[in-house]
Amino acid sequence: MCGGELVGDPSLQITGAASLGEAVPGEISFYSDPRYGTLLRKTRASAVFVPPDFAESIATAQIRVANPIKVFEQVVLKFAPKPIAFAAGIHPSAVVDPSARLGERVSIQPYAVIEAGARVGDDAVIGAGSYIGHDTVIGAACLIYPLVTIRERTRIGSRVIIHSGVVIGADGFGFEMVDGKHKKIPQLGIVQIDDDVEIGANTTVDRARFGRTWIQQGVKIDNLVQIAHNVVIGKNSVIAAQTGISGSTRVGEYVQMAGQVGIVGHVEIADGSRIAAQSGVSKSIPGGTWFGYPAMPMPEARRQIAWVRRLGKLLARVKELEKKLGL
């Protein structure tokens, strides 16, 4: 299956797969990073996938392959339970407005609500307790997990995966001060989500004040991300957990954001930019890798961190000099 070379007993029986630290006899694991050498030497796995140039002598059977991680994934899929499949049809407890249009082989799970004018494409699954708002369009082969809220007039492409707790199309955070009070600004736009997007649990994507909040094709969004009104996320970008993107920001294509990034509104993030964890972006980014608060190019951020770490020694030297000078 993996085209590897066995070093060990060919009669060995493998009944499962696990990581080096968790594997037990009868299971196979993988090793590809020298940082995990200690775990490799301690593992109880019966066999381990290793790189072709692996030269260490270990008691565990080895299978030498070009890419241990990828081959291990293939083996895990062989041992894994079959994916859960949902039968086509509408559960008796679901509420589907007569004007809603459902495609072929659609599965509507218990207590889901499909409002008037909504359209659901072929082979889509609407999970238990999910809400599909008025005039919302959901494309073919979408998987909407339980307890997802998709409000009115949202546009979702094909093969989109939306995990539990997601809210799409809530009002943008828009207010103006009138007579000493915060008056709500109507949020009249929509959310558009293009093909092959995946949105993690408890993420929120707000509707636009006018126009659209737009998540473009192939974007992958982690859990607990906040995307504000009128934000545009370019194709194939990746956004990690607890990131917050303020209103009217435009994120380019193939951008990578690590966890807990915060971005102010009305800025632009250029194609291919990378933003490290916990960075605070206060201005437009022209590309490259950025880190810190406020975010700066990574080389500069590293220099500043090094300088800060030297301050204690520098202060001690200054005090010693002052003492010698009688100051």
Q: What's the pLDDT tens digit per position in 165-193? A: 999 999 999 999 999 999 999 999 999 99
What CATH number does the domain containing 289 carry?
2.160.10.10
What CATH number does the domain containing 75 carry?
3.40.1390.10
Using the 3D structure, point to which of 58, 79, 100 is the last residue of a domain: 79
What mean pLDDT do residues 65-83 have?
A: 91
> In this structure, is residue 255 part of a structural domain?
yes
Using the 3D structure, point to which of 79, 108, 138 is the last residue of a domain: 79
pLDDT for the residue numbered 80: 87
Please check whether residues 142 and 210 belong to one and the same domain: yes
Give burial (CB, 10 Å; 0-12/13-18/19+) of 310. exposed
What mean pLDDT do residues 79-104 have?
A: 95
What mean pLDDT do residues 263-277 have?
A: 98
> In this structure, is residue 321 part of a structural domain?
no
Q: What percent of the chain has pLDDT over 90?
A: 85
In the set 91, 163, 182, 229, the catalytic residue is: 229
> In this structure, is residue 35 part of a structural domain?
yes
Taking the whole predicted model, whether its pTM rises above 0.85 is answered as: yes
pLDDT for the residue numbered 82: 87
Name the residue range of residue 205's domain.
89-297
Q: What percent of the chain has pLDDT over 70?
A: 100
Please check whether residues 112 and 58 belong to one and the same domain: no
What mean pLDDT do residues 226-234 have?
A: 98
Instruction: With cut-offs at 50, 70 and 90, classify the pLDDT of residue 2.
Output: confident
Confirm whether 229 is a catalytic residue: yes
pLDDT tens-digit readout, 8-26:
999 999 999 999 999 999 9
- Looking at the structure of the chain, the number of domains it has is 2
Pair 28, 68: CB distance under 8 Å = no
Instruction: With cut-offs at 50, 70 and 90, classify the pLDDT of residue 235.
Output: very high
Please check whether residues 93 and 155 belong to one and the same domain: yes
Tokens, residue 85: 């499949």
> In this structure, is residue 49 part of a structural domain?
yes
> In this structure, is residue 326 part of a structural domain?
no
Residue length of the chain? 327
Tokens, residue 66: 């070009």
Pair 251, 269: CB distance under 8 Å = yes
pLDDT tens-digit readout, 105-155:
999 999 999 999 999 999 999 999 999 999 999 999 999 999 999 999 999
Pair 279, 292: CB distance under 8 Å = yes
